[in-house]
A and B are shown apart, each in its own frame.
Chain A
């Protein structure tokens, strides 16, 4: 990429040179010069005109050369782009997959902006595309971003109010957000050297969590003794700066989960995954094209696409013996040793006999079909 940019800089330099030394200005100057000469010495008009002819020739040769050089450098560069950025990915698209679904796509886009907190763009798009964003949802995200903005500035109050209000729903998740917020507030007080206030705060607020977070509360109280040198104490982990980021993320996650929405924009997730998946799909399409098959018509791609851990949303169990994906009819079964294979493979290993002993393919333990247990991921 670096040399690629350097090559472009050379072109840019040529263009700038041509821009500051405008060819037309150069021609005008030459003609003007001749004109002045004739004005001052009308008697040598023919000589002056002869000089002008020559001058025009020199200047225009120079201009043509510079222009040609720039043009051909640019043409070359444009071709280099085609090589560096492989263009054709249109084979990877099914142009009809989204037919008559424009509205769904547009709604998704509008929602994307609303849930990013970009209400101005979300509203503008809804208006221009004639969509309606449910008021309730809009209000929820306004609330979320207000609280989030406060958290960013280390103001925990709005988040605490919200968490307390939704205590029972959060506990069901189960989420420890409310406790984490109190903990953070308490540590803030301690770090501000308001030890008395911190203790008062702890007494007032930790009681409710006493049973669930006993160990943590003990540590939180214990750290008071080390407050003046906490960085080097066994309690150093309590004040890691990333904690503030974690709590912001935790809040967004819990807030979205409570209103039944994903914590990251689905459009963002899908497009980002798509950009990572495209090269693989591209390669596959090229191979399939050679075999004259159409990928978008099939129900399953003939290749596996690697996803990053944070974009894996479902448990996939592929039987290590048969390489088939588990289904309801062919569920994953755990043998006594803890190894899991699909039912069909299990039955084959046990030769269909419930009490036939056989060795697990992955460890020395002996198993029987009757001992295997259906597991649910």
Chain B
């Protein structure tokens, strides 16, 4: 029961390994593309120089100079690729660190070992940092990562760009996000993303809102019509705005004018950006927390007389409130918990009933009796009994 099923628990860690590997792969691809292009250029240039030299239109001095120019060009590219190379080194190393972290986990065998507790705490820190980054609490996220020495286990810098884009959208500027779309054009196409079209629509809407119909029409001609194959209906809808005032009550137009559309854009950008970088669409904290609260939630959690202060769901102010809309776990087997000691009652620690029907564990009752001359006080009713009055209960 307390043995760890490593494969099952590892299945959660897909983004943990996938993210740095994909970053590694994409920076590698960038530098390779540049180098391949450069090789093609180099071959052409040298062929050209050879030709001219043979024809005599270039003397050896000029050839030398031309070669020198090539070297300069190569060196420039090398400098330009420095950041990409640094990324390669960073993410290849980071992948390694993360794999080692997971390997550490596979060497832990039981759920109640200190090693497991330590590893789980690190995992919780990772999960919380991911949550903080998604919600824009960058400073705390960075502080926590630094204090716990887990910078390689979290993806702080991957949120830098997306935070900038989100802030721009909050300021109602599409420019940064459009730039981002351009940079990730091919991947967004693979996702069948309509983010760019939505941004174009928005810029058009803002022009109409500001009563600049001429510019709006020019904008539509330039930026909306290229989408006609897939978005004809949307284009005709949004063009319809030209006929309506921003305070219109007419439904589709009212919705297009709605400023809340900016929030939709942010959400759309986020989901695209997460998907491109292999982040989970919802924070892992929400996923694990929901699963955990569901597993812990019982009928008793919301009944005052059954409240257990150690139970997360029993606190109506915090996690109990979060668990309200979640289902409970099913129970086909009994497990009886002693209200005195919190221990599970089983063959090693039998459940014992007092004459009033209240059941506690053998260990807790005998300990209490040994401290009180053989007397037991039922904590729930205040009734006092002698230890000899307790009776074995059998739970099958």
Instruction: Report which A residues bind B (CB closer than 8 A).
Output: 1-2, 4-5, 8-9, 11-12, 15, 19, 22-25, 27-28, 31-32, 34-35, 38-39, 42-43, 45-46, 49-50, 52-53, 56-57, 60, 63-64, 67, 70-71, 74-75, 77-78, 81-82, 84-87, 89-90, 92-98, 101-102, 104-105, 107-109, 111-112, 118, 120-121, 124-125, 128-129, 174, 176, 212-213, 215, 257, 260-264, 266-279, 281-282, 295-296, 298-318, 320, 323, 325, 327, 334, 337-340, 362-363, 373-377
Complex: A109 Cα to B331 Cα, angstroms: 29
Pair A2/B103 contact, Cβ less than 8 Å = yes
Contact A334 B78 (CB under 8 A): no
Contact B311 A313 (CB under 8 A): yes
Whether A86 touches B11, Cβ cut-off 8 Å, given contacts A1-B102, A93-B286, A307-B296, is yes
The answer to whether A129 touches B137 (Cβ under 8 A) is yes
Q: Do A19 and B88 touch (CB < 8 A)?
A: yes
**Does the CB pair A277–B292 fall under 8 Å?**
yes
Known pairs A31-B71, A67-B35, A78-B21; list 15 more (Cβ under 8 Å): A43-B60, A75-B25, A92-B287, A93-B282, A107-B318, A266-B312, A273-B296, A274-B295, A307-B296, A313-B342, A315-B339, A316-B336, A338-B392, A338-B394, A376-B358
Shortest CB distance B64–A (Å): 6
Closest-by-CB residue of A relative to B33 is A67
Known: A19-B85, A279-B11. A32 touches B71 (CB 8 A): yes
Residue numbers in B under 8 Å from A28 (CB-CB): 71, 74-75, 78
In the bound assembly, the distance between CA atoms of A174 and B308 in angstroms comes to 16
Question: Across chains A and B, which 4 residue pairs bring their CB atoms closest together, nearest first?
Answer: A274-B292, A313-B311, A42-B60, A266-B312
- Please name 5 pairs of A and B residues whose Cβ atoms are closer than 8 Å in the assembled complex, sorted by A: A1-B106, A70-B28, A96-B325, A316-B298, A377-B351
Docked Cα-Cα span, A24 to B32, in Å, equals: 11
User: Once the chains bind, are A74 and B24 in contact (CB under 8 Å)?
Assistant: yes
B245 interface residue per 8 A CB criterion: no
Residue ranges of B at the interface with A (Cβ–Cβ < 8 Å) = 1-2, 5-6, 8-18, 21-22, 24-25, 28-29, 32, 35-36, 38-39, 42-43, 46-47, 49-50, 53-54, 59-61, 63-64, 67-68, 70-71, 74-75, 77-78, 81, 85, 88-89, 92, 95-96, 99-100, 102-103, 106, 111-112, 120-121, 123-124, 127-128, 131-132, 135, 137, 139-140, 143-144, 147, 280-282, 285-296, 298-301, 306, 308-312, 314-315, 317-319, 321-322, 325-337, 339, 342-344, 351, 353, 357-359, 368, 370-372, 380, 391-396
> Across the interface, which residues of B come within 8 angstroms of A334, CB to CB?
353, 357, 393
The CA-CA distance from A82 to B43 in the complex, in Å, is 40
Within 8 Å CB of B25, what residues of A? 71, 74-75, 78
Tell me whether A270 and B394 are in contact in the complex, defined as CB-CB below 8 angstroms, given that A212-B371, A276-B9, A314-B308 are known contacts. no
Given contacts A90-B287, A296-B326, contact A273 B318 (CB under 8 A): no
> In the complex, A179→B206 CA distance in Å?
74
Is B38 touching A24 in the complex (CB atoms < 8 A)? yes
Choice from B1, B9, B60 contacting A45 with Cβ under 8 Å: B60
- Identify which of A22, A101, A176 contacts B321 (C-beta below 8 A): A101
Across the interface, do A271 and B99 meet the contact criterion of CB distance under 8 Å? Answer: no
The answer to whether A281 and B43 have CB atoms under 8 Å apart is no
Query: Contact partner of A317 among B70, B137, B326, B334, CB < 8 A?
Result: B334
Once A60-B39, A85-B11, A124-B143 are accepted as A-B contacts, the answer to whether A98 and B50 lie under 8 Å apart by CB is: no
Instruction: Decide: A275 near B9, CB < 8 A? Known: A8-B99, A314-B306.
Output: yes
Q: Given A262-B310, A337-B394, does the pair A281, B92 have CB atoms closer than 8 Å?
A: no
**Which of B38, B42, B336 meets A377, CB within 8 Å?**
B336
Chain A residues within an 8 Å CB radius of B358: 375-376
A27-B42 in contact (CB<8A)? yes
Known: A24-B81, A49-B50, A271-B289. A264 touches B310 (CB 8 A): yes
Residues of chain B with a CB closer than 8 A to A86's CB: 11, 14
Inter-chain contact A5/B103, CB cutoff 8 Å: yes
The answer to whether A295 and B36 have CB atoms under 8 Å apart is: no
Chain A, residue nearest B377 (CB)? A174
Closest residue of A by beta carbon distance from B68: A35
B127's partner among A4, A271, A302, A337 (CB-CB below 8 A) is A271
Taken together as a complex, chains A and B put the C-alpha atoms of A101 and B120 apart, in Å, by: 25
Pick from B42, B111, B147: contact of A276, CB below 8 A: B111
Determine if A84 and B96 form an interchain contact, defined as CB atoms under 8 angstroms apart.
no
- Contact check, A277 vs B291: say whether CB atoms are below 8 A apart: yes
Residue ID in chain B nearest A300 by CB atoms: B328
Minimum CB–CB distance from A260 to chain B (whole Å) comes to 6
Contact B67–A38 (Cβ < 8 Å): yes
